[in-house]
Amino acid sequence: MSTDTLQADTLAAIAAAASPEALEAVRVSAMGKSGSVTALLKTLGGMTPEERLVEGPRLNGLREAITAALAARKNELESVALNARLVAERQDMTLPVAPALTGSIHPVSQVMDELAEIFADLGFAVATGPEIEDDWHNFSALNIPETHPARAMHDTFYFPDADAQGRKMLLRTHTSPVQIRTMMTQKPPIRIIAPGRVYRSDSDATHTPMFHQVEGLVIDRGVTLANLRWTLETFIKAFFEVDDVSLRFRPSYFPFTEPSVEVDVGYSSKTGKPAAAGDVDKWLEVLGSGMVHPRVISACGLDPNEYQGFAFGCGIDRLAMLKYGMNDLRPFFDADLRWLKHHGFSAFDVPTLSGGVGA
């Protein structure tokens, strides 16, 4: 076969190759180890210098033409494949989403958004802190020294090793360490809430090893227990969207507040919802609170004779259970799609005070 015919045939085969596999077959039959072009190139070795002078450039030209044609066809085939894929994988964004694919907002996330909305309206900012805490922020600075029995109450998950600075590390057992972090970095007046995860080694129908709290902290001059009471009442009424709510303020004890107050919400066991005084036959403890202990204020470098304040810590999951009528806490964290479908919220259901913070 003449070089010209070989070139014409091979170029035609390249142009006709309809897939990367077909093109590869053409490449192997021409340029492979025992390919036709390779065989021709091998004949150069047996030629006289004069013959080689003529045949060399011709055969090299043949090889170059075929190599270039192979590369060009490869490019073409790839862009055809890419275009086909782009067409096949195109999504019509105007089509409704298949119901099976619709996600929903977890009631805990929804309640956290509701809390942020209610407290923003009262002038509170949202603060955060780490879930892996050190012993000082979680306990000591909150007036819970090493030997304090309150440490045992918390069923703490400790890390086996201290950190690089020799601090004992743990999973925070409450959101109260955020009080400390805030007082150490901000100047009064302080008004914050700090929602987040907390951990305790505890598990039954109303306790899970991980749960959610929201901390509240107000520090300023001349803050009193009356301010705490008003704030909590306003918050609970806004949260449950009722004009009248039955709250029970019980004297209590926390090392970091003095005096300390626990707050129960009255509800009707018939509806499972918060109720006005006459219909209340059950109480659910939702939060602990009190006036920030002077020792905590001075541990943060503030003068307790100048600054006072109140703090509260509230179980978010319990609030969600009471507001949305769920009686078991454990399925909250089972990630069971059927539960989420039933209790979850639409992403469009953004809580606003004007539009309502409830469903």
Q: Of 40-48, 157-165, 187-195, 286-294, which segment contacts ligand PHE by CB under 6 A?
A: 286-294
Q: What is the smallest separation between the CB atom of 180 and ligand PHE, expressed in angstroms?
A: 11
Asked if 289 touches ligand PHE (CB under 6 A), the answer is yes
Return the number of the residue (280 or 286) whose C-beta is nearest ligand PHE: 286
Q: Of 132-140, 159-167, 284-292, 338-346, which segment contacts ligand PHE by CB under 6 A?
A: 284-292
Q: What is the smallest separation between the CB atom of 310 and ligand PHE, expressed in angstroms?
A: 8
Return the number of the residue (142 or 357) whose C-beta is nearest ligand PHE: 142
Q: What is the smallest separation between the CB atom of 146 and ligand PHE, expressed in angstroms?
A: 18
Are 219 and 234 contacting, i.e. CB atoms less than 8 angstroms apart? no
- Provide the β-strand partners of residue 257: 254, 292
Asked if 182 touches ligand PHE (CB under 6 A), the answer is no
Could you say which residues in the range 140-179 bind ligand PHE, by CB under 6 A? 174, 176
Q: Quick one: which of 266, 218, 240 has its CA closest to 323?
A: 240
Q: Among 255, 290, 344, 351, which residue interacts with ligand PHE (rule: CB under 6 A)?
A: 290
Asked if 191 touches ligand PHE (CB under 6 A), the answer is no
Return the number of the residue (143 or 257) whose C-beta is nearest ligand PHE: 257
Return the number of the residue (288 or 351) whose C-beta is nearest ligand PHE: 288
Could you say which residues in the range 238-277 bind ligand PHE, by CB under 6 A? 254, 257
Residue type at position 348? F
Round to whole Å and give the CA distance between 5 and 139. Answer: 89
Q: What are the structure tokens assigned to 173, written together?
A: 């057992």
User: How far is it between the farthest Cα atoms of the chain?
Assistant: 117
Asked if 311 touches ligand PHE (CB under 6 A), the answer is yes
Asked if 212 touches ligand PHE (CB under 6 A), the answer is no
Q: Of 66-74, 220-228, 310-318, 337-345, which segment contacts ligand PHE by CB under 6 A?
A: 310-318
Which 8-state DSSP code applies to residue 67? H
Phi/psi at 276 (5° precision): -75, 160
Asked if 309 touches ligand PHE (CB under 6 A), the answer is no
Residues that bind ligand PHE (CB under 6 A): 174, 176, 254, 257, 288-290, 311-313
